[in-house]
């Protein structure tokens, strides 16, 4: 049985619909991430999940039992706040022990368990007596995780706790968090606006848009088979073309009038108009690209961005700019100013049915 289930959950603020008929279920021991741009309703979602807000309609079930009206302090779940909300007048130990103190656990036992959770969160035991205000950013994250674990929650919620951390430390903490989740076997529900964060840590991801779930799936499913233009764009930079059907196996680019070859089943049945999307890493580029490409665009490289192991090229063709991504090692001598042909294999494009603006 699912540990947490949402059935047709709505949340209205006056006339504003923050969460719109959301249903989903989260399995025991899963690392589940809710990802979406700001204003997509993900913060409202987590506030309802932890019990700080009540849904307007629908049900939230914990192991099959409705918990809509159970306040946060009576729920067996715990949250790591965006601001972390570590109690600044307490030591690291005082913070970690706080939930046990509220339950009336005797002091020596509290201390013993707090020290255990410090080590689980990769903090030295000597930090027990350190004032929490003297900890660095990364240490504070670990204290917050230890404090939440010490509550022994059925589910741990995270509200973008890593958003204020610099890139390198964030990468380290993402891995640590995933390790802690595996080691403890707890169910983690994580909220973020960052696709990268979601991809690295999650078993499954729910993408939210305007209060609704746009897609749920494993990171790979969502990256490889997005179900809408929105998801494909949100999951990374893409090249988009507004298209209309022409004849079987071919679409026409609305802006240039150019024919684009697609796989026979690429466009949904009854397709009238929509968007064709190709990821930069699926693009072909060269002085002459091989035959069998979906279409050939002639252009000139106008920009080059080195992304560590990969290189991204910006190619201007007519009025439009396209992104092409290559592994550096296999790169030819093309650089800024070179005239190139770009295109893609018909199988690498995805077509989404949606009204053209």
Partner 1 sequence: MSDIHPITRRLLWIFFAAACLLMYLPMLVTALASLSRSRFFIFPVSKYSWKWYEDTLSSLQIEQAAIISLIVAVMVAVISVALAFVGALAYARYDWKGRKSFQYLVMLPIFFPQAVLGLAVQLWLNTLGVPMSWHSTVFGQLVWIAPIATLVIAIQVFAYDPAFEDAARDLGATRWQAMRDITLPLLWPGIFSGFLFSLLLSWSNFPFAYYTSGADVTIPEWLHAKMIGGYTPMVPAVGTLSILVGAVMLCGGFAIAYAAKTIAARRRLATAAR
* Spatial CB neighbours of 188, under 8 Å, sequence gap ≥ 6: 30, 31, 32, 155, 156, 158, 177, 181, 201
Residue 269 corresponds to which tokens in the numbers above? 């049945």
Q: Which residues in the 87-116 window bind partner 1 by CB under 8 A?
A: 87-89, 91, 98-99, 101-103
To the nearest whole angstrom, how small is the minimum distance from the Cβ of residue 187 to partner 1?
16
To the nearest whole angstrom, how small is the minimum distance from the Cβ of residue 70 to partner 1?
12
* Smaller CB separation from partner 1, 96 or 207: 96
Annotate each residue in 286-315 with x if it binds partner 1 (CB under 8 A) or - if it does not, as one string: ------------------------------
Cβ–Cβ < 8 Å for 56, 12: yes
Q: Which residues of 127-165 are buried (b: 16+ CB within 10 A; e: fewer)?
A: bbebebeebeebbbbbbbbbbbbbbebbbbbbbbbbeeb
Annotate each residue in 129-158 with x if it binds partner 1 (CB under 8 A) or - if it does not, as one string: x-x---------------x---x-------
DSSP 281: G
To the nearest whole angstrom, how small is the minimum distance from the Cβ of residue 131 to partner 1?
8
- CA torsion sign for 190, 192, 198, 200 is negative
Q: Which residues in the 22-81 window bind partner 1 by CB under 8 A?
A: 50-52, 71-73, 78-79, 81
* Smaller CB separation from partner 1, 49 or 222: 49
To the nearest whole angstrom, how small is the minimum distance from the Cβ of residue 223 to partner 1?
33
Indicate the pairing of strand 350-353 with strand 339-344: unpaired
CA 164 – CA 72 distance, rounded (Å): 25
CA 183 from chain centre, in angstroms, equals: 22
Per rule CB under 8 A, count of chain residues that contact partner 1: 25
Site residues for partner 1 per CB under 8 A: 50-52, 71-73, 78-79, 81-83, 85, 87-89, 91, 98-99, 101-103, 129, 131, 147, 151
């Amino acid at each position: 049985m699912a540990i947490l289930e949402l059935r047709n959950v709505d949340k209205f603020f006056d006339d504003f619909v923050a969460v719109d008929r959301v249903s989903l279920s989260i399995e025991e021991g899963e690392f589940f991430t809710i990802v979406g741009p700001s204003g997509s309703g993900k913060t409202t979602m987590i506030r309802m999940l932890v019990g700080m807000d009540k849904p307007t309609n629908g049900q939230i079930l914990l192991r099959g039992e409705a918990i809509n009206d159970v306040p946060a302090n009576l729920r067996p779940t715990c949250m790591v706040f965006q601001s972390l909300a570590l109690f600044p007048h307490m030591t690291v130990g005082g913070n970690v022990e706080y939930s046990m103190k509220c339950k009336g656990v005797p002091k020596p036992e509290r201390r013993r368990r707090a020290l255990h959770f410090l080590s689980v969160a990769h903090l030295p035991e000597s930090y027990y007596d350190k004032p929490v205000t003297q900890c660095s950013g990364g240490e504070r994250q670990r204290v917050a995780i230890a404090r939440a674990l010490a509550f022994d929650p059925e589910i741990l919620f995270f509200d973008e706790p890593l958003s204020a951390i610099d890139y390198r430390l964030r990468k380290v903490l993402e891995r640590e968090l995933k390790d802690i989740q595996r080691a403890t076997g707890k169910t983690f529900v994580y909220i973020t606006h960052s696709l990268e964060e979601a991809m690295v840590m999650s078993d499954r991801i729910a993408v939210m848009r305007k209060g609704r779930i746009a897609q749920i799936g494993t990171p790979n499913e969502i990256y490889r088979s997005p179900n809408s233009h929105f998801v494909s764009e949100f999951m990374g930079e893409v090249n988009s073309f507004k298209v209309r059907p022409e004849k079987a196996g071919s679409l026409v680019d609305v802006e240039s009038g150019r024919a684009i070859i697609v796989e026979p089943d690429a466009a949904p049945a009854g397709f009238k108009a929509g968007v064709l999307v190709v990821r930069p890493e699926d693009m072909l580029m060269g002085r002459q690209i091989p035959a069998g490409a979906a279409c050939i665009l002639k252009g000139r490289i106008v920009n080059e961005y080195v992304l560590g192991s990969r290189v991204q090229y910006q190619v201007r063709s007519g009025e439009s700019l396209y992104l092409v991504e290559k592994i550096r090692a296999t790169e030819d001598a093309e650089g800024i100013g070179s005239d190139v042909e770009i295109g893609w294999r018909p199988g690498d494009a995805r077509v989404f049915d949606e009204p053209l603006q």
